Amino acid sequence: MSVETASPNGHFVSLRGVRKRFDDLEVLHGIDLDVSLHDVVCLIGASGSGKSTLLRCINLLEQVDEGTIVVDGQRLTGTKVDVNKLRRRIGIVFQSYNLFPHMTVMQNVTLAPVQALKLSKRDARLRACELLAVIGLEEKADEYPDRLSGGQQQRVAIARALAMNPSLMLLDEITSALDPQLIGEVLDLVRTLAGEGMTMIIATHEMSFAREVADKVCFLDAGVICEEGPPHQIFSSPREERTREFLQRVLEAGRM
């Protein structure tokens, strides 16, 4: 993805006034967010603050009611967008892994490249082997997901998303369902991706991880971005009262 094709305002991802309603409940009340190429943005906030919905909107898994989303110069919102084509360049990883249980690890990773990108089976397997090497699970290629630990499954889910060569990765609380001793291996992989310059938007409850890896942290509260800034500022001297309260609660819960 070249910098020349970036959005007019120079940002790789640009959201303006994004609103999303589920029946009577408005979950996102006008979100503005900019993400530069190669940046990592962490979304923090209580459960129900809209982090997951926001990520789903960027992947078009949810249709926004109002506002615009531009990724890499491509408008995602409005009519006449080819969702299947746009989604291929935006990877998303879920809290619950969502691997396909009837397929081996290899089949999980090669399905979309073969079906959606029309890669040959051979090329897809080669690419999958490289990715499995990166996540350290080459020897699990022919196992089924239920034979893997949660951490291993989540790493496969990341590899499956990377197999599409996305230019943007969305990570939706990917360590929330994991046992504490398995969280590290998944976060290490995300660190590697960040180091390689992958543009990422990460919804997370892991505050120390957000502090370490993020270029920008956004605190979401009740469907709006209440405060955003570099991690040291958000975590050390938050300006907003609500941010302070949230961080205080996190601190008390021993999560930081």
Partner 1 sequence: MGRFLHTFFSPLDFLRAVPQVWNGFQYNIKLMLLAEALVLVLALLVAIVRGLPGRAALPLRAAAIVYTDVFRGTPLVLVIFMILGFSTLNVFGLSSQSLFVDGVIALTLVYTAYVTEVYRAGIESVHPSQRMAARSLGLSYTQALRHVVLPQAIRRVIPPLLNDFIGLQKDTALITVIGLTEAVAQANFYATDYFNYAGLTVAAVFFIILTIPLARFTDHIIKEREKRERAQAV
CB of residue 93 vs partner 1: minimum separation in angstroms?
9
| Cβ-contact 88, 117 below 8 angstroms | yes
- Alpha carbon of residue 207 to chain centroid: 16
Q: Are 174 and 95 in contact (CB under 8 A)?
A: yes
Minimum CB separation from partner 1 for residue 83, in Å?
8
Whole-angstrom CA distances from 28 to 4, 35, 57, 135, 168 are 30, 18, 10, 34, 21
Least separation, in Å, of the C-beta of 110 and partner 1? Answer: 11
Q: How many CB atoms lie within 10 A of CB 79?
A: 4
Helices (H), 48-144: 51-58, 83-87, 105-115, 121-134
Least Å from the CB of residue 246 to partner 1: 28
- Of the two residues 13 and 161, which places its CB atom closer to partner 1 in the complex? 161
CB of 182 to partner 1, least distance (A): 17
Judged by beta carbon, residue 141 or residue 162, the one nearer partner 1 is 162
Q: Quote the least distance from Cβ 189 to partner 1, whole Å.
A: 18
By beta-carbon proximity to partner 1, the closer residue of 46 and 117 is 117
Cα→Cα distances 217→52, 181, 251, Å:
15, 25, 17
Structure tokens at 4: 């020349």
Binding region for partner 1 (CB under 8 A):
59, 61, 84-85, 87-88, 91-92, 94, 96, 98-102, 111-112, 115-117, 146, 160-161, 164
Exposed e or buried b for every residue in 216-254, given b needs 16+ CB within 10 A? bbbbbbebbbbbbbebeebbeebeeeebeebbeebeeee
Q: Which is nearer to partner 1, 169 or 234 (CB)?
A: 169
